[in-house]
Amino acid sequence: RFPFAGTVTMDQIVVDCGTADISVGDEVVLIGSQGEERIPAEEWANLLGTINYEIVCHFGPRLPRRHLR
């Protein structure tokens, strides 16, 4: 997990990756699970002062999505 390094704007966020070994093309999970980590929409809602339904309805169309069962 990496902290936000600025304000969430219309369709962009900036995160502070520190000295982590990160490359273009690496997977990023905004909502969901990766390994043992889980980021629910409720966590975003708490950070942004809203409700989870507003979070999932407002991701823009330019954000690639991958739905897994």
What pTM value is reported for the model? 0.67
Contacting residues for 40 by C-beta, under 8 A, at least 6 apart:
31, 52
For residue 65, the model assigns a pLDDT of 78
The DSSP secondary-structure symbol of 11 reads S
DSSP reduced 3-state for 54: helix
Task: Tell me the mean pLDDT in the region 15-26.
Answer: 92
For residue 54, the model assigns a pLDDT of 94
